[in-house]
């Protein structure tokens, strides 16, 4: 990895060099009722609309590699022939410009499931291998707990990472492709003063964390508390709306639907992202539902994130971005749920 200094005035030049590709980055999407700015990822064609000072986005960048709805294959039948078409939706290379460390780590976790298995998902892999990622530092919101999950720093999964030092960026260069894009810009080696500013920025970020999740022995505690009445308390609050999975950067459960034309001349197979909190998630043929109660569905969501994934990959699936808690109409959030399971004081009660 190389470390360089890039003046902020040069960033537009980097954007221009990358603009032959689709660029996806954070943009301002308006304000909420309290007047707080809302940001989200969208395709960007004008550098001036890119908001690298964003706090967090409503949704993650996951939907650009794992769309909410995706056609897997189509079928066409004529009198004399039968044809199947499969499109992996390979578009031209695209750039994710301005991902925080938690979202970079979220993609790394999805890679373990969707690319690291014996049967990788070709639709996801085709997009994932076709992207260029630029990360950027942040100051966490009060609901962010990525430091507890070990995802406040990204070590892999990006080409460039920018840390704001005022009038310039401290740049981490991780790929040869990134180095080529930077060749025509005014880069310099970091001085001792830049090292000091970088350390100060890192200290400020660490001091800004308010929310915390105690993860020590969490898998054992979850096993011990599987029948805890706490799950019924949280389940009584849950609206089973699926909003948490909608905004989560690591949820990947899906269902497959097949639509056949009435004249049997054609058909389409589609994948749609699902949520384990939805009432029909565990419903099978014949109408039997293995998880008819909201408490059960909510519990298994937490066990997948903080128990099952840990057993499989030795790390939690949750990255601590806090989106689920900020979006939940019932104000259910990970720090409070885990604290209640551990019989600790909840964050919102402090």
Res 118: pLDDT: 78
The predicted model scores a pTM of 0.93
d(CA 278, CA 281): 5
pLDDT digits (tens, 9 = 90+) for 260-301: 999 888 899 999 999 999 998 888 888 898 999 999 999 999
Res 51: pLDDT: 96
CB 55 within 8 A of CB 36: no
Q: How confident is the model at residue 349 (pLDDT cuts 50, 70, 90)?
A: low
Provide the total of helices (H) and of strands (E) in the chain, helices listed first.
12, 11
> Which residue reads 């009722």 in tokens?
33
Side by side, the strands of the sheet bearing 82-86 are 82-86, 69-77, 266-273, 254-260
d(CA 323, CA 340): 20
The set of residues, in sequence order, having a beta carbon less than 8 Å from that of 49 and lying 6+ positions away, is: 27, 28
Tokens of 129: 């291998």
Res 91: pLDDT: 63
Res 60: pLDDT: 95
Q: How confident is the model at residue 12 (pLDDT cuts 50, 70, 90)?
A: very high
Q: How confident is the model at residue 41 (pLDDT cuts 50, 70, 90)?
A: very high
Choice among 67-81, 96-110, 164-178, 180-194 with the minimum mean pLDDT: 67-81
pLDDT digits (tens, 9 = 90+) for 119-133: 888 889 989 989 999
Res 116: pLDDT: 86
Q: Residue 173 above 70 pLDDT?
A: yes
Choice among 55-59, 67-71, 302-306, 321-325 with the minimum mean pLDDT: 67-71
Domains in the chain: boundaries = 2-349
The set of residues, in sequence order, having a beta carbon less than 8 Å from that of 42 and lying 6+ positions away, is: 24, 25, 27, 29
Please give the share of the chain, as a percent, with pLDDT higher than 90: 79
**CA distances (Å), origin 90, targets 38, 56, 86, 276:** 30, 28, 11, 29
d(CA 185, CA 10): 6
Q: Residue 348 above 80 pLDDT?
A: no
d(CA 197, CA 190): 10
Res 88: pLDDT: 66
Tokens of 333: 């959030």
Q: How confident is the model at residue 350 (pLDDT cuts 50, 70, 90)?
A: very low
Average pLDDT over residues 205-216: 94
The set of residues, in sequence order, having a beta carbon less than 8 Å from that of 223 and lying 6+ positions away, is: 307
Please give the share of the chain, as a percent, with pLDDT higher than 70: 97
């Amino acid at each position: 990895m190389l470390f360089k200094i890039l003046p902020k005035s040069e960033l537009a030049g980097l954007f221009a060099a990358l603009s032959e590709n689709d660029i996806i980055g954070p943009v301002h999407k308006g304000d909420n009722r309290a007047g707080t700015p809302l940001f989200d990822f969208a395709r960007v064609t004008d550098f001036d609309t890119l908001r690298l000072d964003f706090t967090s986005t409503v949704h993650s960048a996951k939907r650009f590699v794992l769309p909410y709805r995706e056609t897997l294959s189509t079928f066409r039948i004529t009198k004399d022939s039968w044809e199947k078409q499969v499109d992996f939706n390979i578009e031209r290379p695209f750039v994710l410009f301005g991902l925080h460390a938690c979202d970079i780590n979220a993609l790394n976790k999805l890679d373990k499931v969707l690319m690291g298995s014996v049967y990788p998902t070709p639709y996801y892999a085709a997009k994932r291998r076709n992207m260029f990622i630029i990360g950027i530092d942040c100051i966490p919101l009060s609901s962010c707990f990525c430091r507890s999950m070990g995802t406040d720093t990204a070590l892999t999964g990006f080409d460039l990472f920018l840390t704001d030092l005022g009038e310039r960026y401290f740049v981490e260069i991780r790929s040869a492709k990134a180095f080529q894009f930077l060749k025509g810009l005014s880069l310099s080696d970091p001085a001792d003063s830049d090292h000091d500013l970088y350390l100060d920025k890192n200290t400020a970020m660490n001091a800004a964390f308010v929310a915390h999740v105690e993860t020590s022995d969490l898998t054992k505690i979850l096993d011990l508390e599987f029948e805890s009445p706490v799950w019924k308390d949280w389940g009584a609050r849950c609206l089973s709306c699926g909003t948490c999975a909608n905004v989560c950067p690591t949820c990947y459960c899906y269902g497959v639907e097949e639509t056949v034309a009435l004249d049997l001349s054609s058909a389409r197979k589609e994948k749609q992202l699902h949520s384990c909190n939805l009432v029909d998630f565990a419903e099978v043929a014949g109408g039997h539902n293995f998880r008819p109660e909201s408490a059960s569905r909510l519990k298994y969501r937490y066990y997948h994130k903080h128990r099952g994934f840990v057993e499989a990959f030795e790390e939690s699936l949750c990255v601590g971005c806090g989106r689920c808690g900020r979006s939940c109409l019932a104000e259910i959030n990970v720090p409070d749920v885990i604290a209640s399971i551990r019989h600790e004081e909840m964050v919102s009660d402090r």
